[in-house]
Amino acid sequence: MNAYQSRVNIDRIEKDLYELSKFGFNPDDKGIYRQGLTPIDMEARQWVKQQFEAAGMEASLDGVGNVCGRYVPKPELEDVPAVLIASHLDSVPAGGMFDGTLGVMAGLECIRLIQENNITVNRPIEIIGTSEEEGRFGGMLGAQALSGNLTLEWLNTAKDPAGEYLKDALEQCGFSPQEALHARRDPADIRAFLELHIEQGPVLEMNNKPVGVVDGISGVFKWLIKLVGKPDHAGTAPMNMRSDAFMGVADFAHELSRIIDEEGSEYTRLTIGRVELKPGFAHTIPGEAHFTLVGRDMDNEVMHQVSMSCQKVLGAIARKHNLKFEYDQLSWIPPRHFSDDLVDTVEKNAQELALDYMRMPSGAGHDCQFFADLVPTALIFVKSVGGISHAPDEWSHWDDVQKGCDLLYKTLLDLCNE
Ligand SMILES: [Zn+2]
């Protein structure tokens, strides 16, 4: 095997990412605060638009704030299906400087390389910095808009946790729900959708691989569960005469690993991320517990088995503690499997570049998942140090970033010159 030789300019990518990280940087905790559809997010988008233009692309913002840079090598290729490279530009509160932004800046670097090396490409290429991926309003707004996964009803009713309406946030940024619907792209105009993203987990590091070739994204279901017992005096009510809702939550939490052992797979994850007790007073037995359960797996059937087992176990626990139990399924997103052809191409390129890689699924959702059923889609991961993400300590080594970018670039050229 030949030794790895890089074609990308990693110094330029590093400089771009540092520049971009200044938008929303908080010196106190060193985190980035660039939530979707906020003034600082829009400033960052204007900056990215300028970088796209400086690299010779025609750039614009669509109806939800996706920044789109389009490179058409020759006018007669205008209508040929394009390759899209996209990831997001918004961050979680106190986020890191690689999440999402890496994929956008890597795409920009590809265009610069094509231009300065006079590389022939036979398709248009579009680099997109998507809008509001981190779920401030409960979805992945930008990618949903591009893939036609939006309804006017949702656009008009979605709210963020602070109670601000999506439609108002859109309007404050100069958009509207109606325009948001117009951001949809016709899949017939897209040859392939590529995304480069940090792993945000520990698997690549554990396996000592710089890059991952992702073949699918876990499905995810979200429940809101209520256990209802009886609030009572914490001093006078004997332990054996209580209907303590928290005890139900505690018992259920202990059962999760057994449920996974019996019904799940190596990719199953079950998480209780939020618990609210009522009345929530130190000297009162909690009469109600409201909590979330998020389940994930790579197989829809396994997700069903696991969710049925959760129901059964909750029923038994409710009986044991004399509680009533109800649950609301807030969402159910089936797993997405990427098209074998394109994943194989990425894998072949990793081998040709002499990169140490592994094929793997993604446990987290990404923009590309909305395209997986529409067009050939691929996702490349770069190793995250310590698996840390959504935190100021998020980091990837530049030589790993470089390898991921090279893999993206080679795959793009394959798609443009097939
Ligand atoms: Zn991300």
pLDDT for 203-237, tens place per residue? 999 999 999 999 999 999 999 999 999 999 999 99
Average pLDDT across the chain, whole number? 96
Give the distance (Å) from ligand 1 centre to CA of residue 239: 46
Give the distance (Å) from ligand 1 centre to CA of residue 103: 9
Looking at residue 66, its pLDDT comes to: 98
User: What number is the average pLDDT over the span 134-154?
Assistant: 95
Looking at residue 231, its pLDDT comes to: 96
User: What number is the average pLDDT over the span 397-412?
Assistant: 98
Give the distance (Å) from ligand 1 centre to CA of residue 88: 6
Question: What DSSP line would sit under 172-226, residue for residue?
Answer: HTT--HHHHHTT---GGGEEEEEEEEE--SSHHHHTT-SEEEEEEE-EEEEEEEE
End-to-end CA distance of the chain: 24
User: What number is the average pLDDT over the span 268-274?
Assistant: 96
Give the distance (Å) from ligand 1 centre to CA of residue 384: 12
How buried is residue 101: exposed, middle or buried, by Cβ count under 10 Å (0-12/13-18/19+)? buried
* Residue pair 113/409 in contact by the 8 Å Cβ criterion: yes
307-342 pLDDT per residue, tens: 999 999 999 999 999 999 999 998 898 999 999 999
pLDDT of 196 above 70: yes
Angle (nearest 5°) at CA 220 between 277 and 295 = 50
Residue with tokens 């209780």: 272
Looking at residue 251, its pLDDT comes to: 98
Give the distance (Å) from ligand 1 centre to CA of residue 32: 13
Asked if the bond preceding 279 is cis, omega within 30° of 0, the reply is yes
Give the distance (Å) from ligand 1 centre to CA of residue 248: 34
Task: Take residue 292 and report the two structure tokens written for it.
Answer: 């979330």
Give the distance (Å) from ligand 1 centre to CA of residue 341: 24
Give the distance (Å) from ligand 1 centre to CA of residue 200: 8
Q: 268: pLDDT confidence band, cut at 50, 70 and 90? A: very high
Residue with tokens 């073949």: 215
232-252 pLDDT per residue, tens: 999 999 999 999 999 999 999
- Number of other residues whose CB lies within 10 A of the CB of residue 381: 29
Give the distance (Å) from ligand 1 centre to CA of residue 134: 7
58-116 pLDDT per residue, tens: 999 999 999 999 999 999 999 999 999 999 999 999 999 999 999 999 999 999 999 99
pLDDT of 1 above 80: no
Angle (nearest 5°) at CA 283 between 278 and 285 = 45
Contacts of 48 (CB under 8 A, 6+ apart): 20, 67, 89, 104, 129
Give the distance (Å) from ligand 1 centre to CA of residue 366: 6
Give the distance (Å) from ligand 1 centre to CA of residue 417: 29
Give the distance (Å) from ligand 1 centre to CA of residue 122: 30
pLDDT of 2 above 90: no
Give the distance (Å) from ligand 1 centre to CA of residue 97: 10
Give the distance (Å) from ligand 1 centre to CA of residue 61: 20
pTM (two decimals): 0.90
175-184 pLDDT per residue, tens: 999 999 999 9
370-384 pLDDT per residue, tens: 999 999 999 999 999
Give the distance (Å) from ligand 1 centre to CA of residue 268: 21
Give the distance (Å) from ligand 1 centre to CA of residue 176: 24
Q: What b/e readout covers 203-217, taking b as 16+ CB neighbours within 10 angstroms?
A: bbbeeebbbbbbbbb
Number of helical H runs and strand E runs in the chain: 12, 18
Give the distance (Å) from ligand 1 centre to CA of residue 90: 8
Looking at residue 252, its pLDDT comes to: 98
